[in-house]
Amino acid sequence: MNFKPQNYESYLSDYAQKGSMSRGRLFDEQESAHRSPFQRDRDRIIHTTAFRRLQFKTQVFVNHEGDHFRNRLTHTIEVAQIARTISKALGLNEELAESLALSHDLGHTPFGHCGEDVLNQCLSDIGGFEHNAQSLKIVTKLEHRYADFDGLNLTWEALEGLVKHNGPLLDAAGKPTKKYQKNGVPSYVNEFCQKFDLEIDKYSNLEAQLAACADDVAYNNHDIDDGLRAGLFVFEDLFELPVIGDVMRDVKARFGHISAKRQMHEAYRIIIGLMVEDILQNTQTNIAKYNIKTTADIHNAAVAIGNFSPKILAVIKTLQEFLMQNMYRADSVIKERVAAAKILEDLFDIYMKKPENLPPDWQHDLGADSAEVSQRKIGDFMAGMTDRFAIMEHQRLFDFTPQMR
């Protein structure tokens, strides 16, 4: 018995992705009688090894630095909550939006963006490393959970949203866009699209676009929270920021009698609310402006339909500049990055020279592989590491391991 559209699909907008209208999966499967295709995608993601590992991967602060700082898993849960809120308000498919939010960081390395930078350098002669492509590889190849196929066999909509949530990878002329201009579209994305065309020259579904917005809302706001908690800046330092400073000053004026922690949380929730409201209003404006009627209209639009207004985009840019200066480049954070980079560089070097140090299931056929394939396999293994496992591996293989706070 196949899934039959339930009443909730009748409440979705015409441009929402409907499970009953999915383009299907790479490998044909009997669909569930009780769960929609996008529900099954979500459930499969949650049960992966890669998803569990997010708990011990850095967001900004290494996971052992404190129980109350965000890690990749808590960040992912916050993104999923915001994505569902936005999608529901716009009559979109919450299940797909949640699936995309839960999978968007699966490909991240240990030690946050520092880890990605190191792996990108280590693999530079074979195309580098890019976490979105790694996320695709995890859900289509590296997870080994099913008897009939590698990966999770997610729906086309979940895969195209995962790959293109930040926009098309190719422009209308077939040239790489944005960050892909330097090194081109990652080879694994191109290889997979030969088997299952994800139309990387078009925009993703609207649910994916809004999951990307939810990611921006979550990490910008929780980085304020974590930065204040870590003592890298104080409440008053934010007063000069546009819009955000207005909120901070107002909270301070109205709630000066309560603890700084409660003031922080009050401001945090107000700013999230302002950003979410802006996304809703701007997306509705774009839907009307570009005469969006169907999912095809979303895919073929000349711009992203789900987005912040120019005003809030400018606010976010200013906030990111503040965080870059006062948090991401803080002496204590830079010190951690240097130590983390040393750990990962050492591990990559020793695995390349002595692959017998890899776990047995990762050594399979490594000696018979080309140097390029061996490098990529080692990159895949290291990308899956948690912070603490990388530290423990370094301690096992080296006499001295850089001290992480």
Please give the C-alpha separations between residue 133 and each of 2, 185, 274, in angstroms, as whole numbers. Answer: 32, 9, 32
Same domain, 148 and 242: no
405 pLDDT band, cuts 50/70/90, is low
pLDDT value of position 343 = 96
Tokens of 57: 């991967």
pLDDT tens digits for range 7-36: 678 889 999 999 999 999 999 999 888 899
Residue 6 has pLDDT above 90, yes or no: no
Beta strands in 43-102, from DSSP E residues, in sequence order: none
Cα–Cα nearest to 133, from 82, 193, 48: 193
Same domain, 244 and 355: no
DSSP 248-282: HHHHHHHSTTS-HHHHHHHHHHHHHHHHHHHHHHH
Cβ-Cβ contacts under 8 Å for 191 (sequence gap 6 or more): none
3 pLDDT band, cuts 50/70/90, is low
Give the separation between CA 160 and CA 141, rounded to whole angstroms.
Answer: 16
Domain boundary pick from 279, 296, 329: 329
- Domain membership of residue 147 (yes or no) is yes
Confirm if 79 and 197 have CB atoms less than 8 A apart: no
The whole domain housing 89 covers: 33-108+124-195
Same domain, 48 and 148: yes
Domain boundary pick from 314, 329, 344: 329
Same domain, 186 and 219: no
- Domain membership of residue 26 (yes or no) is no
Same domain, 258 and 294: yes
Confirm if 272 and 82 have CB atoms less than 8 A apart: yes
Same domain, 341 and 361: yes
Same domain, 322 and 382: no
Please give the C-alpha separations between residue 18 and each of 37, 154, 157, 205, in angstroms, as whole numbers. Answer: 9, 15, 10, 11
Number of domains in the chain: 3
- Mean pLDDT value across residues 322-333: 89
pLDDT value of position 64 = 46
pLDDT tens digits for range 133-173: 999 999 999 999 999 999 999 999 999 999 999 999 999 89
Give the separation between CA 137 and CA 119, rounded to whole angstroms.
Answer: 15
Q: Which comes out higher in pLDDT, residue 112 or 393?
A: 393
Give the separation between CA 222 and CA 268, rounded to whole angstroms.
Answer: 8
Q: 150 — phi, psi (to 5°)?
A: -80, 160
Q: Write the CATH number for 95.
A: 1.10.3210.10
- Domain membership of residue 306 (yes or no) is yes
The strand pairing partners of 155, in sequence order, are 25
Query: Among 88-92, 161-165, 240-244, 363-367, which is the least confidently predicted range?
Result: 363-367
Tokens 């002329």 label which residue? 173
Q: Provide the residue count of the chain.
A: 405
Tokens 């899956």 label which residue? 384
- Domain membership of residue 362 (yes or no) is yes
Beta strands in 167-254, from DSSP E residues, in sequence order: none
Percent of the chain clearing pLDDT 70 (strictly above):
94
Same domain, 251 and 372: no
- Domain membership of residue 40 (yes or no) is yes
Give the separation between CA 377 and CA 362, rounded to whole angstroms.
Answer: 8
**Residue 170: helix, strand or coil by DSSP?**
strand
pLDDT tens digits for range 190-207: 999 999 999 999 999 999
pLDDT value of position 5 = 52
Same domain, 292 and 264: yes
**Residue 58: helix, strand or coil by DSSP?**
strand
Domain boundary pick from 170, 195, 220: 195
Give me the chain's average pLDDT, please: 92
- Domain membership of residue 200 (yes or no) is no
Same domain, 213 and 301: yes
Same domain, 162 and 45: yes
- Domain membership of residue 71 (yes or no) is yes
329 pLDDT band, cuts 50/70/90, is confident
Tokens of 347: 């591990």
- Domain membership of residue 402 (yes or no) is no
pLDDT tens digits for range 351-377: 999 999 999 888 876 665 677 888 999
Please give the C-alpha separations between residue 36 and each of 261, 318, 394, in angstroms, as whole numbers. Answer: 41, 41, 44
Same domain, 314 and 191: no
Cα-Cα-Cα-Cα dihedral sign, residues 316, 318, 324, 327: negative
254 pLDDT band, cuts 50/70/90, is very high
Tokens of 270: 């107000």
1 pLDDT band, cuts 50/70/90, is very low
